[in-house]
Amino acid sequence: MRVGVLASGTGTNLQALLDSVHGREVEIVAVASDKPQAQALERARAAGVPARAFPAGDHPGRDARDAAIADWLAAAGVELVVLAGYMQLLGAGFLARFPDRVLNVHPALLPAFPGLDAIGQALDYGVKVFGVTVHLVDEGVDTGPIVLQAAVELPDATGRDEVLAALRPLEHRLLPEAVRRIAAGRLRRDPANPRRVLT
């Protein structure tokens, strides 16, 4: 299965994919970012994967940028799009190009704490259990069907860095595992409840 990855930041989740499933269960054939300086682009190039930035200023609006990214991914034969720390919302036009084939990793146990600064939201709320969700992307903000989740108890956590450090290993395990299951054709909707994804 040919995979495209979108990432805005340091790209540790991209790296986990490159190190675990790339060249095995899937081929990562394109990495795009909204940020020309994203370390994720460097990681892709270091692995010999084509990488390209799509900065906002190059496009008349979000839909135009989404379309340019979708065109570039489609030209590379991408069948599955993985959002690995992509900090932009994707519009309905983009999602329609890859139906049920856009995956996201989010640093909270959805449906709690969707959107930006999920870890900060969880800390502010005072939760004792943190976690990671891998889900299919729909038009809402982190509302798509859940594929995998994992949790970690951190009853005394007070800082974002501390929580992120605990979540990293979960993210780096769950995201490749979700990609593996999709590549193996295991993902399907429960006919009794289309919100539920069976893996």
- Tell me the catalytic residues: 106
- Residue 13 touches ligand GAR, criterion: CB under 6 A: yes
Do 77 and 101 contact (CB within 8 A), yes or no? no
Identify which range of 5-13, 63-71, 88-96, 185-193 contacts ligand GAR by CB under 6 A: 5-13
When asked if residue 127 is in the footprint of ligand GAR (CB under 6 A), the reply is no
Asked whether position 4 contacts ligand GAR by CB under 6 A, the answer is no
What span, in angstroms and rounded, lies between the C-alpha atoms of 186 and 199? Answer: 5
Read out DSSP for 41-76? HHHHHHTT--EEE--GGGSSSHHHHHHHHHHHHHHT
Which of the residues 155 through 184 are near ligand GAR (CB under 6 A)?
Answer: 171
Interface pattern 88-107 for ligand GAR (x via CB under 6 A) = -----------------xxx
Residue 177 beta carbon to ligand GAR: minimum distance, rounded to whole angstroms = 15
DSSP state of 26: B
Interatomic CA distance for residues 144 and 111, integer angstroms: 10
Choose between 36 and 77: whose C-beta lies nearer to ligand GAR: 36
Phi, psi of 71 (to 5 degrees): -60, -45
Smallest gap from Cβ 171 to ligand GAR, in A, equals: 5
Q: How far is the CB of 185 from ligand GAR (least distance, A)?
A: 25
- Taking CA atoms, 110 is separated from 15, 39, 104, 167, in Å, by 24, 27, 12, 14
Q: In the window 129-158, what residues touch ligand GAR (CB under 6 A)?
A: none
Summarize as ranges the residues that interact with ligand GAR (CB under 6 A).
Answer: 7, 9-13, 40, 84-85, 105-107, 118, 171
